[in-house]
Amino acid sequence: MSRLVTTLTAPRSWIIALVGLLLGVGVIAGIGHAERSASALDTLPAGFDSTQGQALLDELPDEGSKTAIVLFTADSDIEASLPELSQLMEDVAPEGAEPPATQGSGAGEGAPEGGAPEGAEGSGAPEGAGQEGAEGSGAPEGAGQEGGGPPPGLSGEYPVIPAEDGTAAISVIDLDAPTATDTQQVVTQLRTDLSDGVPDGVTAQVTGPAAIEADLASVFDGANITLLGTTAAVVALLLIVTYRSPILWVIPLLVVGVADQTAASAATHVLKLFGIPWDESTIGILSVLVFGAGTNYALLLISRYRDELRRHSSRHEAMALALRRAAEAIIASASTVVVGVLCLLLSVFPSTRGLGLACAVGVLVAMAFVLLVLPGALVVFGRWVFWPQVPREGQAVLAESRSLWRRIGDTVAKAPAAYIAGTLTLLAAMAFGITQISSGLAPEDQFLETPEAITAAERLGESFPAGTSDPLVVVTRGDEAQVDELAAAVEDVDGVTQVTPVEPVDGIGQVQVVLEAEPGSEPAQETVGEVRAAVEGYADTHVTGGDASALDESDGNVRDRFVVMPLILALVLLALMGLLRSVLAPVILVTSVVATFCAAIGVSWWLFTGVFGFGAIDASMPLLAFLFLVALGVDYNIFLITRTLEEAGVHGTRDGVLRALGATGGVITSAGILLAAVFAVLGVLPLVVLAQIGVVICIGVLLDTLLVRTVLVPAIVRVLGERFWWPRRVDQAGRHRTDEEGTETGGPGTAELAPAGAPDAR
């Protein structure tokens, strides 16, 4: 370790920094991001009924097709325009598109011939947004008209089916679009052609699975570039404010920026290597995490380096000691984050597993750049890089100063028990909002700005059965007779308005089921359960589609919370126990972070409902917010407590925590504010779930930084004194013991605790 530190801080260490940056740039330019193959199964919970149904649908020969529903609306009677609309559909049909190929008669009342498509693949929409894996749309109940022969518009290749109220009509088309990018391009062109060719007085919109997937892809166009630019700007601004230097901020921003892009490239290739999928939001969250964690580590190292420059005339010696001291906290911090995010590998959602592995790679890359590249990049410049506040040898170090944070610590030390009680009472009051939380967003609530596919689906529900745009699909591996039996069984379920059997292809048959209830509603989910009960006795038969997938996703998120969240706590706790060689201290630190999480969720709920107008939280948000708050929130406690342990060897634990607070208060506060701001930037992305994650983490980090780390933890340490380290014992002579015989142990500060200004012992 000593040899490596000497190499990284030697006069020629700038060569190492330059090589590291060039290697990062080489990775970014040379290999870039790995290409991903998206699947409808990526966002569905593994092993659940809707996922198994989608897997069956993926075996169909037309697995690259996706269903779009064209909705025509008019202020007056639309039937007069049906022939023209039917011809328009034939004119604008994209290359490779097919008309609905449903065979067999609809079991629902009034189902017109050819009313449902076959074989359309899932949409790939985010959790709860539209349908995942639904197979087209059956014709709405009561569509068409009585009498001899079909009405005008129903006889073309792409039938245009009018609603009974005469204000709307729909046409269903299967698009050849294997990927999300293909879907976006095809739907965009289809919308343009429809808008140019629609008759006067008629409006055309496109909804259905293909349109939802296209709109999701569209709102992410350039979003990650916007996120990266906004994040970099926020970090630059806060670094300038923190350092109050026109020069210094450029160095950590450059190093972390290269680390961010290197991490994105490395993470996608690692994910591809292990066959783990990722989605559009993975790189965005990864970028925020790398910028946040990397900049935090840089702040800690630079703060310690600045402090050591006040003790040493040589900047290389100062950086060597700073790197030794800071590396312990940085490595410990990164280890807890990596351990935490890797717990996501146990999620039932493949894309969530991808996020966990990507974040682990990102944090390791950020740590490596800060510890291996940043020291050389800093020492190549003289002290002038800190201008105008240049540290001079002989100036008072932070631990000896009367900083704002030391004064706060001294105030807390006068009545620590009162501050503990007051802080816990405040956190409990803030957490009360948890009791009011409603979970699960309706499809129309998934986006910050509602796209056309959602508004069209809402309008469609005014003239047709609400479930027309988002039907269930009963999929089975069986013959035509079994498909007919399933159709008959489902037809008797309350809340089902139309049932359309589809003749088996390659031994896989389907039954299209249109529900009366609005997609995403509680009645719709109740009907899903009844449909599943009706087909329960049939082998290899599953119910998929929008509402079925949403129901399973909700159950999958509940499962993840009960399995992954306790595991995160347990592993972070064990990591802290190994770091501190203590039992009581890690329990206190982890408990304080959990209290922060509860308070952040409670306050956020009032903000979501009272300020942002969100009716519920996304079901996946609590797990991700908990993960990042616990893993990153523990960081600040690690920064404080490792410094406390270092100071305790000379000054005792009670005084040591005050000195540690004075020494680390400024940098931890700066790091916390920066991390909170960086996660708040997630709000520039178009999905409500990302905005909610950003808000909760922002509030939680600020609470942890300004309240828990500044008041609660120091107060607890002041009350417990040396018992805080139980069963470890810390003597002021610098010896660390874990048993009554005084056996020395390792860990932060073991052989390195020396009076301020003493030469490095290693």
Give mean pLDDT, residues 690-702: 90
Q: How far apart are CA 726 and CA 330, in angstroms?
A: 23
Q: Is the dihedral of CA 378, 709, 339, 432 positive or negative?
A: negative
Q: What is the per-residue pLDDT for 156?
A: 57
pLDDT at 745 over 80: no
The 10s digit of each residue's pLDDT in 426-446 is 999 999 989 888 887 776 777
The residues, ordered by sequence, that sit 6+ positions from 438 with a Cβ below 8 Å of its Cβ are 615, 616, 617
Closest of 403, 285, 422 to residue 352, by C-alpha:
285
Percent of the chain with pLDDT over 70: 85
pLDDT, residue 761, reads 32
- With bands split at pLDDT 50, 70 and 90, how would you rate the model's confidence at 224? low
What integer pLDDT is reported at residue 36 of this predicted model?
Answer: 74
What was the pLDDT predicted at 312?
A: 85
With cut-offs at 50, 70 and 90, classify the pLDDT of residue 223: low
**Banded model confidence at residue 478, pLDDT cuts 50, 70, 90:** confident
- Give the least confident one: 36-40, 274-278, 739-743: 739-743
For residue 343, what pLDDT is reported? Answer: 93
Q: Is the peptide bond before 727 cis (omega within 30 degrees of 0)?
A: yes
Measured distance CA(287)–CA(293) in Å, rounded: 10
Query: Residue range 242-260: average pLDDT?
Result: 88
Quote the pLDDT of residue 724: 92
Bridge partner list, 205: 71
Average pLDDT over residues 85-102: 76
Please give the average per-residue pLDDT across 621-647, as a whole number.
86
User: Of 44, 97, 186, which Cα lies nearest the Cα of 557?
Assistant: 44
Mean pLDDT of 675-680: 85
pLDDT of residue 112: 36
Average pLDDT over residues 723-728: 90
Interhelix angle 688-703/584-607, nearest 10 degrees: 130
Q: Amino acid identity, residue 437? A: I
More confident of the two residues 61 and 349:
349
Q: Which amino acid is at 431?
A: A
pLDDT given for residue 423 in this prediction: 94
pLDDT of residue 155: 52
* pLDDT classification of 121: cutoffs 50, 70, 90: very low
User: What digits encode the pLDDT tens for the residues 172-219?
Assistant: 888 877 767 778 888 888 999 998 888 888 899 998 888 887 887 777
Res 307: pLDDT? 85
CA dihedral 397, 413, 635, 396 (to 10 degrees): 0
Tokens 């039917």 map to which residue? 86
Answer whether residue 129 shows pLDDT above 70: no
DSSP-derived 3-state class of residue 157: coil
Between 100 and 11, name the one with better pLDDT: 11
What pLDDT, on the 0 to 100 scale, is given for residue 149? 47
State mean pLDDT over 240-253.
86
Q: What is the mean pLDDT of residues 271-295?
A: 87
Lowest mean pLDDT among 680-684, 716-720, 731-735: 731-735
Tokens, residue 493: 């379920």
Does a cis peptide bond (omega within 30 degrees of 0) precede residue 151? no
* Tokens coding 694: 């950003």
Supply the mean pLDDT for the chain: 81
- Residue 648: pLDDT above 80? yes
Q: Residue 446: helix, strand or coil by DSSP?
A: coil
Return d(Cα 139, Cα 69) in angstroms, integer. 11
Confidence at residue 738, expressed as pLDDT on a 0 to 100 scale = 40
pLDDT at residue 154, as a whole number: 53
Give residue 222's pLDDT: 66
Per-residue model confidence (pLDDT) at position 141: 44
Return the amino acid letter for 724. Answer: F
Of residues 423, 425, 432, 439, the one with CA closest to residue 602: 432
pLDDT at position 63: 56
Over 60: is that where the pLDDT of 137 sits?
Answer: no
Task: Provide mean pLDDT across the span 627-634.
Answer: 84
Residue 346 pLDDT: 93
Per-residue pLDDT tens digits for 1-43: 678 878 888 888 878 888 888 888 888 888 888 887 767 778 8
* pLDDT reported for residue 471: 85
According to DSSP, residue 396 is labeled P
* Count of other CB atoms within 10 angstroms of residue 203: 15
Provide mean pLDDT across the span 64-90.
Answer: 84
Count of all residues that appear for the chain in the document: 762
Say yes or no to pLDDT of 143 above 60: no
Cα 23 to Cα 199: distance, rounded to the nearest angstrom: 59
pLDDT tens sequence across 554-594: 899 999 999 999 999 999 899 889 888 899 999 999 999 99
Q: What's the mean pLDDT in 307-334?
A: 88
The pLDDT assigned to 368 comes to 94
Instruction: Give the DSSP letter string of 70-116.
Output: EEEEESS--GGGHHHHHHHHHHHPPTT-B-----S--SSTTPPTT-S
Residues of the chain above pLDDT 90, percent: 24
- Please state the rounded mean pLDDT for residues 503-521: 86
Q: How many angstroms separate the most distant Cα atoms in the chain?
A: 102
